[in-house]
Amino acid sequence: MSVHKDAKRITTQVLQEMKHNGEKIAMLTAYDYSMATLVDQAGVDVILVGDSASNVMAGHETTLPITLDQMIYHAASVVRAAKRALVVVDLPFGTYQGNSKEALNSAIRIMKESGAHAVKLEGGREVRESIERILSAGIPVMGHLGLTPQSIYKFGTYTVRAKEEEEAIRLREDAALLDEIGCFAVVFEKIPAGLAGEVSRAIHCPTIGIGAGGDCDGQVLVVHDMLGITQSFSPRFLRRYLDLGDQMYNAVQQYVSDVRGRDFPNADEQY
């Protein structure tokens, strides 16, 4: 099944080389061992253990409730599966903002207890101190600008960010800052494609877009969304590669009917 069985581990340096060589980076989320095994074997470069686990795994309305312990549990499962992909883990809400020492402790716990390769956190200048402190411990950091779901109660909506010039200027400055202080990559979520392309060309580290157009250095989607397991979420940027939700529903219905109709198990399916 595996296309990359003997392939070497993707590192932050490999991602930098990919940008340099104009090769696009493919990133997907995963939160558990089985899904991460498939995603890794299919050749994804980066697996993000996103705090979107709060939505798709735990059923919360926002990403805010997920805890550091829960993120570590998901991350350790993914790390056990990933033989090639770089595994990046979101620092959850409330574990890094406003206190750089706490940020470093949170990042250290993720690295030590899950075996992940890097952390991601949301924000620009306001989290500079936290990023610098984490980097100073040798932990690679991925930034995240544009729509930052942990600030949903500040924004009020999940609409496209940085459409107005003032916010676009701030995003340009924040991206340059994250690049300069040493983030190995930056996620751009839901910003105009032109702006994302312009900043991707201007900064040194790779940019990974979600709803940010084709000129980012790579793309990321939530795996449950692109496989069609989550069905109520259909923003314009989402390409559904499968209607797995429908297929799973039909399979489960068939199983229920087979059990009730005494068709399962049959003579070959027992001892």
Task: Tell me the number of residues near ligand KIV by CB under 6 A.
Answer: 11
- The reply on whether position 220 binds ligand KIV by CB under 6 A is yes
d(CA 85, CA 26): 10
Nearest to 178 by CA among 228, 134, 219, 242: 134
Comparing every residue's Cβ against ligand KIV, the nearest one is 50
- The reply on whether position 225 binds ligand KIV by CB under 6 A is no
> Token pair of 203, please?
């900064």
* Catalytic residue check, 189: yes
- The reply on whether position 222 binds ligand KIV by CB under 6 A is yes
* 185 vs 220, beta carbon nearer ligand KIV: 220
Sign, CA dihedral 234-123-174-170, equals: positive
Minimum Å gap between C-beta 178 and ligand KIV is 15
d(CA 144, CA 185): 9
d(CA 80, CA 88): 13
* 39 vs 220, beta carbon nearer ligand KIV: 220
* 159 vs 254, beta carbon nearer ligand KIV: 159
Q: Which of 45, 50, 74, 133 binds ligand KIV (CB under 6 A)?
A: 50
Q: Hey, which residues between 232 and 251 contact ligand KIV (CB under 6 A)? A: none
Please tell me which residue in 61, 189, 198, 269 is annotated as part of the active site. Answer: 189
- With 0-12 / 13-18 / 19 or more C-beta atoms within 10 angstroms meaning exposed / middle / buried, residue 27 is buried
Minimum Å gap between C-beta 151 and ligand KIV is 12
Minimum Å gap between C-beta 29 and ligand KIV is 5
Alpha helices by DSSP H, listed for 83-240, are 100-114, 128-136, 152-155, 165-181, 193-202, 223-226
Q: Which of 142, 210, 216, 227 binds ligand KIV (CB under 6 A)?
A: 210
The region of 46-54, 154-162, 195-203, 254-262 touching ligand KIV under the rule CB under 6 A is: 46-54
* 52 vs 130, beta carbon nearer ligand KIV: 52
Alpha helices by DSSP H, listed for 137-205, are 152-155, 165-181, 193-202
- The reply on whether position 130 binds ligand KIV by CB under 6 A is no
Minimum Å gap between C-beta 189 and ligand KIV is 6
Neighbours of 34 (CB within 10 A): 10
* 236 vs 262, beta carbon nearer ligand KIV: 236
* 45 vs 90, beta carbon nearer ligand KIV: 90
188: left (phi over 0), alpha (psi -120 to 50) or beta: beta
Yes or no: say if 91 and 120 are a contact pair by the CB < 8 Å rule. yes
* Peptide bond just before 265 cis, omega within 30 deg: yes
Residues with Cβ within 8 Å of residue 131, at least 6 apart in sequence:
103, 121, 141, 143, 178, 181, 182, 183
Minimum Å gap between C-beta 35 and ligand KIV is 13
Q: Footprint of ligand KIV on this chain (CB under 6 A)?
A: 29, 48, 50-52, 90, 187, 189, 210, 220, 222
**Would you please indicate which residues are annotated as catalytic (active-site) residues?**
189
